[in-house]
Amino acid sequence: MYVLIMVAALPNSRQPGIFRYNSLGCALLCLASFLIHPICRSNAQKAVSLLALALRTFGVSAIAGSLAALLSELGTYGVRRFQRSDWAVGTVQCTIVLFLWCSLYFIIKQWQSAVRERERMLAMEAEMKEAKLSALRYQLNPHFLFNSLNAVSTLYLEENADAATDMLAQISDLLRTVLSGDMAPAIPLSQEIDFINKYLAIEKTRLGRRLNIVLTIAPESMDVLVPNMLLQPLVENAVKHGVAPVPGPGFVSLSSYIDGPMLHIEVKNSGLIQTDGCLETSHCQGIGLANTVERLKTLYDSTHSFRVHWPAEGGCEVRIELPCQRIAV
C-alpha cells in the first residue's frame, strides 16, 4: 500500500511535504493496525451479528483513522498550517483503509474457522465410519462362531467324536487368526485366502467328500487389499445353502482376477435351482450377505459392485468388483 501511495503521489511531487505526509500516514496506519488488532480479535471470538460487527469495526476504524490523520497532518505541516478540510479528507481515507484491513482480518479468521470445522467434520465422519465397520465386524464374528460350534455339536450327535475334535482344533486355529487381525480393516487378498482355506478345512471335516473346493486366484491379485473377512460369509453361505442341503457331492469355487483398475472376485457353488425367495441383492436377508453389502457401501460408496445371480442350472454366483488398492511399499 505504501508503494502504491508513493507512486500515486508522483504527479504531485512538487507539492511541499507530500512524500513526508504519505510516509508518516502509512507508518501511523501500521501502528494503528497493531493497536486495533486486540479489539478485532476479541470481536472475532464473540458471537455477534454481522451488522454489529461491522458497526463496531467502523467505529474503531474511524477513531483510529482520525487520530492517524491528525498526527500525520500535524507532524508534516505543524499547527500553524493545519487545515481542517485536509484533516477531514485524511480521516476518511485512513478510516476506509483501516476498515478494509479489519474486514480482511475477519475474512481470514472466518476462513480459518471454516477450515478447522471442515477438518473436524471429516475426522468425525472417519471415526463414525470406523465405528460402523467395527460394529459390523463384531456382528459377523459371533455369527460365524455360532455356526461353527453348531457344526461341532452336529458331529457329536452323529457320534463322530474324532471329526468333532479335529474341527474344534481347526476352529481354535481360525479364531486365533480372527483375533490377531481384529484391528486391520483391510488385508491383502492372500491373507483372506489363507483364512478361507482354514474355514473350508472345517467344513471339509464336516462334509467330507461331498464338498469339493476349486480355487482360481490370479497371482497379480494376491497383494490387493480387501476388507477383512469379506469372503468368509459368502463362502459360508455357499456351503450352508448350496452344498450341505443337497445329497451327494457339490462344489464351492472361488476365483479372482484383475481387469483394469478393478479387482474381480467370484464365489460360486452348486445347489438347488432357485425358484422363489431372494432374487435380488437388495432383498437378501440374513447376517452374512446383508453385512457384506453394508460394509462394501461404507468402505467404497459407489466405486464398487456387488451382484448375486442364480444360474438356471442351479446354485448361486456372487460377483464383487473393488478398486485395486495395494499395500504401500
* Portion of the chain with pLDDT greater than 70, in percent: 85
pLDDT score, position 288: 66
pTM of the full structure:
0.56
List, for residues 282-302, the tens digit of each pLDDT value.
Answer: 344 556 677 788 888 888 888
**Closest by Cα among 47, 64, 48, 46 to 102:** 64
Q: Measure the CA–CA gap between 32 and 26, rounded to whole angstroms.
A: 10
pLDDT value of position 296? 87
Contacts for 156 with CB less than 8 Å, ≥ 6 apart: 164
Per-residue pLDDT at 135: 59
> Looking at this protein, which amino acid is placed at residue 133?
L
All domains of the chain, ordered by start, with CATH? 2-118 (no CATH), 160-323 (3.30.565.10)
Q: What is the dihedral of CA 258, 264, 265, 268, to 10 degrees?
A: -110
**CB neighbours of residue 267 within 10 Å:** 23
Q: What is the pLDDT of residue 11?
A: 82
Please state, in angstroms and as integers, the Cα–Cα distance from residue 91 to each residue in 61, 162, 218, following that order: 10, 99, 78
pLDDT tens per residue across span 162-193: 777 877 887 777 777 666 655 567 889 998 89
Share of the chain above pLDDT 90, in %: 22
Spatial contact of 77 and 17, defined as CB atoms under 8 Å apart: yes
The whole-number average pLDDT for the span 37-56 is: 84
Helix then strand then coil, in percent of the chain rounded to 5, is 65, 15, 20
Averaged confidence pLDDT in the chain: 82
Give residue 265's pLDDT: 95
- Of the candidates 127, 209, 141, 131, which has an alpha carbon nearest to the alpha carbon of residue 180? 141
Confidence category of residue 129, pLDDT binned at 50, 70, 90: low
Whole-number pLDDT of residue 281:
42
Amino acid at 295: R
> pLDDT tens digit string along 76-122?
777 777 778 888 888 898 999 999 999 999 999 889 988 988 888 87
Q: Are 61 and 98 in contact (CB under 8 A)?
A: yes
Which range is least confidently modeled, 97-101, 121-125, 139-143, 241-245? 139-143
Q: Which of 65-74, 200-209, 233-242 has the lowest mean pLDDT?
A: 200-209
